Amino acid sequence: MGEFIAPYAERIYGQAVTEPTSEMLGLLVSLVIVYGASAARDIVVGSVGGKVREQLKTLIKYTAQETGKSEKEITDILEARYSDVSLFKRLVRKSRDFFAPAHAERTSPVVIGNVSIPSDVVAEIPPSSPIKDKDMARYIPKDDVEIKLHAMDKDKQNTGWAAVIPSLSDRRIKLRIGKEVDKSDIWGKDTIRGDIVVVEKLTSYGFFPQEYQLTRVLGRD
């Protein structure tokens, strides 16, 4: 995993991290590997969630505490680093390969330095098998954003929506309504605030936003 760690270890920690037994290095390796594993899980399932994502949030929180950076800064560094298509694809593959041996046992946690990845988290990571380019996507959560709702197809209550999210783009993009959202919270409203997931699918031009997933409604502006 060295080629994934070295280029931005200093950017996260504010210093070079070279000692193999360093607690910082163990935390950073864990963060990157779980980031890749969480991405693999999202691609296979087609949405954000699960225990791998919760483990990723925990590692981001720990990294923020250790470095004095905010959780958003740590997340932004990861997202910026792996916006490169080739790096993202390699990280997803390497992360799945890393956890593959543990799939046979599923009874013991995976330990990286001082970080322990619980067995139930490992069990949720997809087995190491090829993910086709047509399925490749990044799933990026964005909390508490303004959402301008557009056309609705009443025959397709989950997928017949579109939205503009001014803080991200002025493009109108397909909006998928999550099962956890009460549709009465959005009927007849032009603008709401909520939590979304931006789905960036792989195209010939790289990753490109093609769908928003609404996971929670916070209220009306």
Helices (H) and strands (E) in the chain, counts: 6, 7
State residue 14's pLDDT score.
47
State residue 157's pLDDT score.
60
Place of tokens 């409604």: 217
User: Does residue 197 contact residue 139 with C-beta atoms inside 8 Å?
Assistant: yes
CA distances from 96 to 85, 109, 123, 149 (A): 17, 15, 11, 37
Q: How far apart are CA 148 and CA 150, in angstroms?
A: 7
Backbone angles phi, psi at 47, to 5 degrees: -165, 165
> Residue 107's CB: how many other CB atoms inside 10 A?
9
Tokens of 204: 């010939």
User: Does residue 194 contact residue 216 with C-beta atoms inside 8 Å?
Assistant: yes
DSSP single-letter state for residue 48: S
User: Does residue 201 contact residue 174 with C-beta atoms inside 8 Å?
Assistant: no
pLDDT by 10s per residue, the chain, length 221: 444 455 445 444 444 445 444 677 788 888 988 999 999 999 998 888 899 999 999 999 998 998 888 999 999 988 888 888 888 988 898 888 888 888 766 667 888 878 889 989 998 888 776 677 778 899 999 999 999 998 665 555 666 789 999 999 999 999 999 888 988 888 888 899 999 999 999 888 889 999 999 999 986 44
